């Protein structure tokens, strides 16, 4: 769960100071590893650097109030960066050596367990976050509320600074029973995601595409024109940079809220949801080409790519995946390459080639005529009810988890959920 923090001026300055100290520790640990290897050929581990933390806090008392576990997590963050670096080398990928970070670009810091902070939920929409202990503790107002009630136990906390604002991301430990979503209908729906309409269903219903990015492009272009006339690094240049970043954040927030609402509506009303596998990364690939073989219609493809990314198909699939499990809904993902929903006829199952400009499906073999996206939604729904012809949604391996110190204060509950 991500909460928005509302610190006052004193608390905001103190949080920024804590971020600078964490950034200083990160850069010092990185410099130590580089110097040790260059001068002595020695590799320094996370445990070597962690054991020096008491001496650092004795020499630099300002590090004491940050908390031992938070400082350890910053060193562990650097260690994970080195592990990823060596993993990419072994895989033959572009390595990307860990880099020094400026304090303004250092995202924040983390408490890996429920020590040194506490979340107080008050009322329906807000609460307070306590950081630190004793007289020096900060009580920061926050907005947001999770849906799991008193059964959820906070596990770890990440303080994030983004576009001049502060956020708290809390991972919750929740029993499996509390994760369940109520489903009040048992419909079977095929869904085709697109750009003309964000979603088209097998019965012809549609969800309009809000086009968040396109609607804000005039304002974004105006900010960029103003910024181009300012001296780089000046106060007005930085102010316009911040305004552009806030506009992008607003677009992202509206997109995420919309996708949350529509995917929740789907899993509440459907026992079966069928759609096709989509790979937005491949769909939005640039058409620029190379010097030897330059691409064609590059500007048109760039505009199409922007619309594809703005529609957030990948985000919708990700949300449907976990919400369907919580609601007991079966999510079926048809293999696009095998099934070819946009080319297949839902009436006779024949392949009828069509260009992107042909928005109506007309079968030359059986005479079936239907709007193209609706026909695709019907095809994936038929595929969901025909065993062996498609690829059902499979649980994907979880991403690389952040290493955490084990908490000795409580027994691990059944499920860990982050929302």
Nearest-angstrom CA–CA distance, 209 and 97 = 41
Which pLDDT does position 122 carry in this prediction?
Answer: 75
In the structure encoding, which two tokens stand for residue 178, read together? 């509390």
**With 0-12 CB in 10 A as exposed, 13-18 as middle and 19+ as buried, what is 345?**
buried
Answer for the pair 201, 377: CB distance below 8 angstroms, yes or no: yes
Q: Specify the DSSP class assigned to residue 392.
A: -
Q: What is the pLDDT of residue 388?
A: 53
* Residue 390 confidence (pLDDT): 46
Q: Where are the alpha helices (DSSP H) in 166-234?
A: 176-179, 212-228
SS3 content of the chain, % helix, strand, coil (to 5): 45, 20, 35
Angle of helix 9-40 versus helix 68-90 axis, rounded to 10? 50
Find out whether 209 and 196 touch, Cβ atoms under 8 Å: yes
Q: Write down the pLDDT at residue 405.
A: 41
pLDDT the model gives residue 273: 96
Q: How far apart are CA 336 and CA 278, in angstroms?
A: 8
Count other C-beta atoms under 10 Å from residue 167's C-beta.
Answer: 16
Q: Strands (DSSP E) along 151-216, which ranges?
A: 153-162, 165-174, 187-193, 197-201, 206-208
**What whole-number distance in Å separates Cα of residue 322 and Cα of residue 305?**
26
User: pLDDT at position 387, please?
Assistant: 62
pLDDT on residue 60:
96
Q: 75: closest CA among 102, 113, 37, 110? A: 110
Q: Collect all residues with Cβ–Cβ distance below 8 Å to 269 and sequence separation of at least 6.
A: 183, 184, 185, 187, 189
CB 158 within 8 A of CB 242: no
295: left (phi over 0), alpha (psi -120 to 50) or beta: beta
Phi, psi (deg, nearest 5) at residue 220: -65, -40
The pTM of the full predicted model, rounded to 2 decimals, is 0.84
Residue by residue, pLDDT tens for the chain (419 residues) are 899 999 999 999 999 999 999 999 999 999 999 999 999 999 999 999 999 999 999 999 999 999 999 999 999 999 999 999 999 999 999 999 999 999 999 999 999 999 999 998 777 778 899 998 878 899 999 998 888 878 889 999 999 999 889 999 999 999 888 888 999 999 999 999 999 999 999 999 999 999 999 999 999 999 999 999 999 999 999 999 999 999 999 999 999 999 999 999 999 999 999 999 999 989 999 888 887 888 888 999 999 999 999 999 999 999 999 999 999 999 999 989 888 999 999 999 999 999 988 999 999 988 999 999 999 999 999 999 886 544 443 333 334 344 444 433 334 444 454 54
């Amino acid at each position: 769960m991500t909460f928005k923090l509302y610190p006052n001026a004193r608390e905001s300055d103190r949080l920024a100071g804590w971020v600078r100290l964490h950034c200083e520790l990160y850069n010092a640990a990185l410099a130590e590893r580089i110097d040790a290897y260059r001068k002595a050929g020695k590799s320094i581990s996370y445990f070597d650097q962690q054991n020096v933390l008491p001496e650092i806090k004795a020499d630099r008392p300002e590090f004491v109030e940050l908390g031992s576990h938070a400082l350890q997590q910053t060193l562990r963050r650097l260690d994970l960066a080195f592990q990823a670096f060596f993993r990419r080398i072994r895989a033959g990928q572009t390595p990307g050596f860990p880099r020094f970070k400026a304090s303004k670009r250092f995202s924040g810091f983390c408490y890996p367990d429920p020590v040194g902070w506490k979340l107080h939920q008050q009322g329906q929409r807000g609460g307070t976050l306590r950081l630190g202990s004793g007289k020096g503790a900060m009580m920061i107002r926050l907005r947001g509320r999770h849906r799991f009630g008193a059964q959820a136990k906070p596990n770890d906390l990440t303080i994030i600074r983004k576009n001049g604002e502060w956020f708290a991301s809390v991972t919750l430990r929740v029993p499996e029973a509390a994760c369940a979503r109520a489903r009040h209908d048992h419909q079977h729906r095929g869904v085709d995601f697109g750009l003309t309409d964000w979603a088209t269903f097998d019965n012809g219903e549609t969800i309009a595409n809000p086009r968040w990015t396109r609607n804000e492009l005039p304002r974004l272009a105006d900010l960029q024109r103003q910024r181009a006339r300012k001296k780089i690094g000046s106060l007005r240049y930085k102010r316009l940079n911040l305004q552009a970043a806030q506009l992008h954040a607003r677009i992202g927030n509206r997109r995420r809220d919309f996708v949350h609402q529509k995917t929740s509506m789907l899993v509440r009303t459907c026992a079966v949801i069928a759609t096709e596998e989509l790979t937005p990364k491949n769909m939005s690939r640039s058409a620029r080409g190379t010097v030897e073989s330059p691409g064609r219609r590059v500007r048109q493809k760039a505009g199409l790519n922007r619309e594809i990314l703005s529609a957030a198909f990948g985000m919708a699939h990700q949300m449907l995946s976990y919400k369907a499990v919580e609601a007991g809904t079966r999510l079926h993902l048809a293999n696009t390459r095998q099934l070819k929903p946009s080319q297949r006829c839902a009436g006779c199952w024949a392949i009828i080639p069509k260009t992107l400009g042909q928005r109506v499906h007309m079968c030359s073999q059986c005479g079936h005529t239907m709007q193209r996206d609706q026909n695709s939604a019907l095809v994936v729904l038929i595929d969901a009810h025909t065993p062996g012809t498609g690829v059902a949604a499979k649980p994907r391996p979880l991403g690389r988890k952040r290493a955490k110190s084990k908490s000795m204060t409580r027994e691990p509950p059944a499920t860990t959920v982050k929302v």
